[in-house]
Structure formats: structure tokens, C-alpha cells
Chain A
Amino acid sequence: MLTSSSVKAAAAGLALATALLVAPSAGWAAKESFAYAPPERAPKGQRSRFVNEAPDAVLQTIWTSLEEQGFRIESVDPQQRLVVARYSGDPRPFLDCGVVTLLVDGRPAEPPRTYGANKAEVRTGKWPKGRRYGLLRTLRLDARLVARVEPRGKGAKIYSDAIYVATKSIHRLRKGGKPDELVNRETISFTSAGSGRFAKGTICVGNGRLESVVFEPFRKSDAAP
């Protein structure tokens, strides 16, 4: 796992790796490949906030709020004042995996096509052994959010931390764009304070929004300066 400080350093290194992703421009058909730039943000780590309310009431509010926001509640422990919630689905709201630029015959496509590497679904192709294979790349996020409440004087301190598991799958696409064989699957994991790296070099970090959902029911004015 990479640390927060190494993400930016990796950015420079992976710019070089971009050249390796560029396919040779031989053959009659225009060949697609990708240039990749890793995320510029560093992981934000565990988040915390003071709230001027009783700890038990804060725990109850967090529980209700997470349910209302569509998270699946995995467990609630009133003794430890702990709420564990799960998210499964589109990674875009919570993950930053850098940016991908489509190249055609080794040059940026016209008009330029740049998109986040955190896209849930991308259809493209590759040319191993001189033949084009249509491919479907999917990215799924499973995240586990832990909110913990501690008494602090007359109020409460909330700690929010998450575990991210990102799964990249590559399916072959048949005629008509129908997904067929699963040809590759890779899973990475990291916490709020870290980042994950797929074998191909794609780096993902949490963008901090997942940890922040815990604080949403509490107004800023409730928090200590």
C-alpha cells in the first residue's frame, strides 16, 4: 500500500509509464490506447469533528442519517458507540483514480477524450496479436465506513474512518456489445489514510466524501471552532 506522501511522487513516475500504455500505430485500423495520470490529491485520512450534543443522541443521529442516505447498516454497538455501514456500487462518488486520456494511433483523440479512471464502466478494445478484441472494463467499490462517538465534556467527538475495496474486471465484448468471458479481475484495498495500486499502475484514493457523510446531519454551528 502506498502512503499519502508517496502518491504525488508516484504521479511523476507514472507519467513515464504512460509511454508503455501507448500501442504501436501499425496496421490498417486506428488503434486506441490510453495515457494515464494518477490522482493529484493525497488521502485525507481519518476525519473527526466535535459536536455539541450528547454522545448517545449523536450516535442515534448518525445511524438514522446513514440509513436515510442509503447506506446498509452492518452493525451498531451502543456500548462502544460505533456504527458500521456498507456501500457497494459506483466508485465515482467516493474514489479518485486519476485521469485517462484516449489516444488514437498514439496521439490524443480529436476531439480530446479525457475521463476519470474511476468510471464504473468503459467499453474499448485492444489489439493483441494483430486482432481487435472488444473489452468492457468495470470498476466496483465496496466500502466499509466506521463512525465512532466519544464523550468530550458536554458534547461528543465523532471519528470517521473507511476501508475501500475496489474491484476491476475486464470482460470480452462480443458482437453487438454483449459482455462475455471474464478475462481479468483484480482487487485492491486501502484505508482513508492510504491508497491502492492496480498491477497496471492505476492508483486510487478516497476523495474524503465517504468519511464526511457521517458529519452531514450536524450543522457547522454545532461544531467547536
Chain B
Amino acid sequence: MRPALKAALERLRALLLAAAAGSAPPLPGHAQAPAGTETGASAAEQKVWAEARKKRTVAGYERYLELFPTGQYAEEAFRLLVEHSLKGRPVKALVDVDPPARPGAKGRRHTIETAALSLY
């Protein structure tokens, strides 16, 4: 295959990959750091992260991770995303009722501390 034709096919394949993935190009002025390197977050990243923290929604954290997949706050964003997606069922204090001391009397209610029921 001629080099020019091969290069054109490579470019076409990259375009198709991008279209299929629906990936966003990097934000202006934002250069993604290679994995494993430490760099500070860009102004654009800080702004998106601040918006995500303000909104506190799954969509906000997803947007940050989509724009900055290896961003400085990726770990926190992913943890918060998981936590928010699990919030459907709230944690309840365990309240128990002791049997009444005599017939007709009311049982005594007491709360079991969460720490007392915690497991490794």
C-alpha cells in the first residue's frame, strides 16, 4: 500500500473512532498529563471541578471525569459519583423494643449504636 494512501486510511480510522466514542477534544489551554506524572490542575479543570462540587450531582461528577479522565480530582470525583449513586437507600439507626415488664405495659425503645453493629 502506498504511504499516502495508508496515512489517509489511518486518519479516516481515527476520525471514525472519535465519532464512535463521541469524545471531546481537550479544552483550550489544557494539556493532559501523561499517566503517572504529577501536574497541577489547569484553570479549566479547576473550574469544572468547582462546578461539580457545587452541584453535587452524578451528572456533575460524570462531566468532570469525561473532560478530565486522568485529572487531579479523578479519584475524588469517582468516589463521590459512586457514593451519590448509592444514596437511594438511606442508612437508618437501628431501634429495638425490649419486651414489656408486665402484660399491658409498653416495651422500652432503645437505639443500637451503629458502631456496635460495625464489622471488619
Contact = CB atoms under 8 A, between A and B. Distances in A.
B102 interface: no
Contacts of A36: 120
Given A46-B35, A79-B18, A133 B94 contact: yes
A46 B96 CA distance: 48
B74 A163 contact: yes
A147 B74 CA distance: 14
Interface in B66-104: 66, 69-70, 74-76, 78-79, 82-83, 86, 89-94, 96
Interface residues on A, range: 35 or more
B26 interface: yes
Interface string B1-23: 00000000010011001101101
Q: Is the interface of A mostly helix, strand, loop or mixed?
A: strand
B42 interface: no
A181 B114 CA distance: 12
Interface of B: 10, 13-14, 17-18, 20-21, 23-26, 32, 34-36, 65-66, 69-70, 74-76, 78-79, 82-83, 86, 89-94, 96, 110, 112-114, 116-120
Interface in A24-72: 34, 36, 46, 56, 59-60
B114 to A, nearest CB: 5
Interface stretch (A105-113, A165-173, A217-225): A165-173
Interface string A183-216: 1110101110000001111100000000000000
A184 B114 contact: yes
A126 B120 contact: no
Interface in A132-188: 133, 135, 137, 142, 144, 146, 148, 150, 159, 161, 163, 165, 167-168, 170, 172, 181-185, 187
A117 interface: yes
Given A78-B21, A146-B69, A159-B34, 6 more contacts: A129-B116, A163-B74, A167-B83, A183-B93, A189-B75, A198-B120
Contacts of A100: 120
Given A184-B117, A200-B120, A201-B120, A75 B89 contact: no
A167 B65 CA distance: 20
A34 B82 contact: no
